[in-house]
Structure 1
């Protein structure tokens, strides 16, 4: 896998995003982020570049990904707007192809069920999300199909309920079931940043939890 020096992060102002930015900077990466409002970003660092724009804007994605070797997508859903997940990923993958970027890491929820999942609780949970949030899940599965049919080195990190706060420093990982019901958002970033140059979960959808 190609060594990465510069990464692009979408959703940097979200629950997990700020921890992702800090973790990446602490590990010595150059980081580019996309935000609609620069006032929301309180982190300052000479290795941090802020791009103002919307993740649904193809040209904003082009500007963000320029010069990067890895893309981390932690975009959340804007309130009272059509679901954006598949649109954002479609733009990202198109730009990645143009720039010959290979590594794509998506932060997603445990409600997305993939082939190989075993635990019945996960499957019931995924079914309930389909019942109560059908449009969201339709868009999430569309996003999944787009990623799985791409030729990038992708990883989809699936999360349980995310709680605010510093991490406890220990997580559980599984490819077949959600190992716990919650995770501190400070524990997400170390796992995700570690995946940048790791092939362990390429083409896979690991669950992580505390």
Structure 2
């Protein structure tokens, strides 16, 4: 894998994304951050290049990924807006192929199903609740996972339970089969995703992570 010096960040203006951007900067990476509303972005750093635009625009994704060695995303579904998961996944994978970028780390909910899961009753209930209450969003996110599987990219999809938006940090439990805890801090998500971006310990896998 190519040495990662610069990463393209999607979702960096969101609540989790801000933790991720700060962690990536702390670890010495240069960043290209996609923002729909750059005026609302409060992080100021000479190692950030801001790209204004939308992840659903393929030309914007190409502009974002140019000169990067990895892609990292915390994009979630936007309320009352078009479905985003499968559409932006297509854009990212297509641009990665054009630029010969291999590494992609993204955030997802524990409700995504994979062939390797052995979900507990609690995790299954949470998954079923999502399917029952947000079936269209759930289907779109599951489709995005299928696109990852069909690609030849070195991806890691990080699945998380309830997120606490804090700088608190504690031990993280990681499992390919089931979510072992009920919550995780946004800080620990950022740390895990940043580390996984370079280590590729969970190549083409969807680990659950949680605080214990």
Q: Distance in 1 between matches of 2:80 and 2:200?
A: 37
Task: Flag structure 2 segments of 5+ consecutive residues without an equivalent.
Answer: none
Q: What's the offset of the Cα at 1:110?
A: 0.5
Q: 1:32 aligns to what?
A: 32
Q: 1:124 aligns to what?
A: 125
Task: Flag structure 1 segments of 5+ consecutive residues without an equivalent.
Answer: none
Q: 1:198 aligned to 2:172?
A: no
Cα deviation per residue 1:106-148 (whole Å; 9 max; x = unaligned)?
1000111211211232223212211111000110111000011
Map 1:117-196 → 2, pairs under 5 A: 117-118=117-118, 119-196=120-197
Q: What's the offset of the Cα at 1:97?
A: 0.3
Q: How many residues align?
A: 210
Q: Distance in 2 between matches of 1:174 and 1:87?
A: 28
| Superposed CA RMSD | 1.0
Moved over 4 A (4+): none
Q: Distance in 1 between matches of 2:189 and 2:46?
A: 24
Q: Distance in 2 between matches of 1:168 and 1:154?
A: 25
Map 1:13-52 → 2, pairs under 5 A: 13-52=13-52
Q: Distance in 2 between matches of 1:205 and 1:13?
A: 24
Q: 1:61 aligned to 2:61?
A: yes
- Alignment check: 8 A CA contact 1:10 1:34 kept: yes
Q: What's the offset of the Cα at 1:26?
A: 0.7
Normalising by structure 2, we get a TM-score of 0.96
Q: 2:74 aligns to what?
A: 74
- Alignment check: 8 A CA contact 1:2 1:197 kept: no
Normalising by structure 1, we get a TM-score of 0.97
Q: Compare 69-78 and 145-154 and name the one that shifted more.
A: 69-78
